[in-house]
Copies of this chain bind each other. A is one copy, B any other.
Amino acid sequence: MFSEPKSKHIPRATIHRLATYVQALENLARDGMEIVSSNPLADACGVNGSQVRKDLAYFGEFGVRGVGYNVKSLLLAITQALGVDREWKMALVGVGNLGRAILNHHEFRLRGFNIIAIFDCDPFKIGEIMHGMEVRCTDDLKTHIRDVNIDIGIITTPPERAQRAADNLFSAGIYSILNFAPARIKAPEIAHVEYVDFFHHLYALAFDVTKTDMHE
């Protein structure tokens, strides 16, 4: 019928690895390394050298044959490819323990991800000042961010309130969501939801341990 522009479809796994490459390259840059070739970079990221080269090939040719990659310019190339070389405005919904920890995590601001509005539906929290921002009522989200262009919504509510938080974000025109609540979210097609769920990882570890114990 019709198909994506599909000049190139980029696997999601590639996108996630690019973030790892950024990490590794930042370390190399900090250590004063100027050139790196695909295999050592791959080692540092726990992947295969071809994988690195193929991942990069989706975005262009950044290396020099026989030499390798210039650390700084590759770093720049990847951040540009990902689109993270700019400022991002975010709204946070749910100022419990985790929400506050995220507000205090200055690495977000450092990397251009700025939380500029915070919401909660607990009447005791609404009106409180945190990090120079007033906690607003989640139901008024749409009104309060009418004038600013929020790029990303962060959900740090308890699971049972996650869907409502998401719906509020959607109706305010925010379709990119980082969800820390351990709950699946029903979202319109155009939305992008990334899940950060500690328990998924703990469960996976628990399984590994159980499995390992069985074999000895």
Contact = CB atoms under 8 A, between A and B. Distances in A.
B24 A210 contact: no
Given A83-B206, A197-B19, A97 B88 contact: no
Given A83-B210, A98-B101, A197-B19, A202 B152 contact: yes
Main secondary structure of the interface of A (DSSP, over half): helix
A47 to B, nearest CB: 10
| Residue among A15, A81, A203, A210 facing the most chain B CB atoms (10 A cut-off) | A203
A102 B113 CA distance: 22
Contact of A20 (B82, B101, B184): B184
A183 B23 contact: yes
B19 A200 contact: yes
Interface string A198-216: 1111111111111110010
Given A199-B19, A201-B194, A204-B194, A24 B101 contact: no
A178 interface: yes
A16 interface: yes
A113 to B, nearest CB: 6
Contact of A84 (B45, B105, B206): B206
Contact of A192 (B24, B97, B190, B208): B208
A138 interface: no
A199 to B, nearest CB: 6
B204 A16 contact: yes
A196 interface: yes
A176 interface: yes
A57 to B, nearest CB: 16
Interface in A1-21: 5, 12, 15-16, 18-20
7 contacts: A19-B203, A19-B204, A20-B200, A84-B206, A88-B202, A178-B201, A192-B205
The 6 closest A-B pairs by CB, nearest first: A83-B210, A101-B101, A194-B201, A192-B208, A19-B200, A19-B203
